[in-house]
Amino acid sequence: MPLVHISMRHGKSDAYRKAIIGNIHRAMHETFDVPEDNGFMTLTEHDATNFRFSASYLGIARTEDVVFIQITANDTRTAEQKKALFQRIAQLLSEHPGLRPEDVFVNLIEVRKENWSLGNGLAQYA
């Protein structure tokens, strides 16, 4: 049950933003076994003043197109699944909407299953 928050610079088209959301979901479906109907995602756009990044941290050349992707998910995946997710997200976003792999920044936050309430005030996974 991932929850995804995407942050990026303001100014891209609706089609560009939809491609980012759709391809992140596709990558989670393919590598994390996330069901097709399990899509809880937000995309927030920021102006230059409110969006800061390092253009060269760890020797990776980032541009103004960098996208931050933060995924909160259950702590049930293997290291191999996580690596596959990161690679697949970068690959799919490179294909469409044409984002450079260097500009794909992913952060995975893992939580225990009982830390979710998906509605009705219930802990559905506990």
* Spatial CB neighbours of 36, under 8 Å, sequence gap ≥ 6: 29
Class (C level, CATH) for 3-115: alpha beta
Confidence (pLDDT) at 74: 95
User: What is the average per-residue pLDDT within 4-22?
Assistant: 98
What is the mean pLDDT of the segment spanning 44-53?
Answer: 97
What string of DSSP letters covers 69-125?
EEEEEETT--HHHHHHHHHHHHHHHHHTT---GGGEEEEEEEE-GGG---STT--TT
Cα–Cα dist 51/53, whole Å: 7
Cβ–Cβ < 8 Å for 90, 104: yes
Q: Running DSSP on this structure, what letter comes out for residue 55?
A: S
Domain boundaries, the chain: 3-115
Q: Mind listing the pLDDT tens digit for each residue in 66-99?
A: 999 999 999 999 999 999 999 999 999 999 999 9
Q: What are the residue numbers of the active site?
A: 2
Tokens of 120: 């009705």
Residue recorded with tokens 């690679």: 87
pLDDT band at 1 (very low <50, low <70, confident <90, very high): confident
| pLDDT tens-digit series, residues 25-47 | 999 999 999 999 998 999 999 99
Q: Provide the mean pLDDT of the chain.
A: 96
What is the model's pLDDT at position 103?
A: 98
pLDDT of residue 110: 97
The pLDDT > 70 percentage for the chain reads 100
Are 76 and 115 in contact, with CB atoms under 8 Å apart?
Answer: no
Q: What band does 61 get if pLDDT is binned at 50, 70 and 90?
A: very high
| pTM given for the model | 0.95
